[in-house]
C-alpha cells in the first residue's frame, strides 16, 4: 500500500466532512478550494469514495457530501484503499534477490496498511484544535489591528521640555 497524492487528498476531504459533520453536507467546490485542487479531480476521488459506501451525495439547496458512517467507524486504510487506483501487481519472475526485495516491499505495504487501519477519522481529530470559525472582513481587520498596534511616539527629554513651554 502506498499513500499517493490522491490518497492524501481523499483523507483531507474526508477529514473536512468529519469536522463539519454536525453542520450538514459540504459542497465539493468548497473542499476543492480549501485544498487548492481542481474540482474535477476531487469529483473523481469522491466517485470512488461513494462507490465504496464511505460518503453520500445530497442533491438540491444545501446539498453536498456527508459521511455515511460515524467518523470513528471509518479508517484511513479504507479511505486510501477506496480512493487510490489499483497498483499493478509486480512481476514475480526474476532472481532470488529481486524476489526477496519484492517480498520485503509486500511486508512493508502490509504493515503500512495495518498502521492506517488503526487510525479512524475520529482518532485523527482527537486532541487537535480544529479551526471552525470563518473570519468576516471586519473581524479580520480587527485581528490585524490587534496584531500590529499603532506605536505611540517615544517621549524624549527635549520634547517634554518643549511641551511644558
pLDDT at residue 32 greater than cutoff 70: yes
- Going by pLDDT thresholds of 50, 70 and 90, the confidence category of residue 21 is confident
161/30: higher pLDDT: 30
Domain of 28: which CATH number?
1.10.10.10
In-domain check, residue 159: no
Can you say how many angstroms the Cα of residue 139 is from the centroid of all Cα atoms in its chain? 25
Q: How far apart are CA 78 and CA 117, in angstroms?
A: 7
pLDDT at residue 134 greater than cutoff 50: no
pLDDT confidence of residue 126: 83
159/67: higher pLDDT: 67
pLDDT confidence of residue 125: 85
- Find cell 511616539 and name the residue: 153
In-domain check, residue 160: no
pLDDT confidence of residue 154: 54
Identify which of 21, 29, 35 has the alpha carbon closest to the alpha carbon of residue 66.
21
In-domain check, residue 123: yes
- Going by pLDDT thresholds of 50, 70 and 90, the confidence category of residue 137 is very low
In-domain check, residue 63: yes
126/74: higher pLDDT: 74
In-domain check, residue 112: yes
Q: How far apart are CA 116 and CA 100, in angstroms?
A: 24
Buried-exposed string 60-70: b where 16+ CB fall within 10 A, e elsewhere = eeeebbbbeee
Identify which of 75, 67, 69 has the alpha carbon closest to the alpha carbon of residue 123.
75
pLDDT confidence of residue 149: 58
For residue 120, the tally of other CB atoms under 10 A from its CB is 20
Identify which of 77, 80, 94 has the alpha carbon closest to the alpha carbon of residue 102.
94
Q: Model pTM? A: 0.68
Count of the separate structural domains present in the chain: 1
In-domain check, residue 156: no
pLDDT confidence of residue 67: 95
pLDDT confidence of residue 86: 65
Enclosing domain of residue 124: 5-147
Chain segment 92-127, per-residue pLDDT in tens? 567 888 888 888 888 888 888 888 888 899 988 886
CB–CB of 11/82 below 8 Å? Answer: no
Residues whose CB falls within 8 Å of the CB of residue 46, separated by 6 or more in sequence, listed in order = 13, 28, 55, 57, 65
In the predicted model, what is the mean pLDDT of residues 34-45?
93
pLDDT confidence of residue 109: 80
Amino acid at each position: 500500500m502506498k499513500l499517493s497524492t490522491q490518497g492524501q487528498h481523499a483523507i483531507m476531504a474526508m477529514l473536512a466532512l468529519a469536522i463539519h459533520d454536525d453542520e450538514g453536507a459540504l459542497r465539493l467546490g468548497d473542499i476543492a478550494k480549501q485544498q487548492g485542487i481542481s474540482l474535477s479531480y476531487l469529483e473523481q476521488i469522491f466517485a470512488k469514495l461513494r462507490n465504496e459506501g464511505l460518503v453520500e451525495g445530497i442533491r438540491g439547496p444545501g446539498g453536498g457530501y456527508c459521511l455515511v458512517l460515524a467518523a470513528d467507524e471509518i479508517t484511513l486504510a479504507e479511505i486510501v484503499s477506496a480512493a487510490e487506483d489499483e497498483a499493478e501487481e509486480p512481476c514475480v519472475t526474476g532472481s532470488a534477490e529481486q524476489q526477496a526485495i519484492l517480498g520485503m516491499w509486500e511486508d512493508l505495504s502490509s504493515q503500512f496498511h495495518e498502521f492506517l487501519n488503526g487510525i479512524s477519522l475520529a482518532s485523527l481529530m482527537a486532541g487537535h484544535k480544529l479551526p471552525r470559525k470563518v473570519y468576516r472582513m471586519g473581524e479580520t481587520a480587527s485581528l490585524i489591528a490587534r496584531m500590529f498596534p499603532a506605536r505611540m511616539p517615544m517621549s524624549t527629554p527635549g520634547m517634554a521640555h518643549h511641551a511644558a513651554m
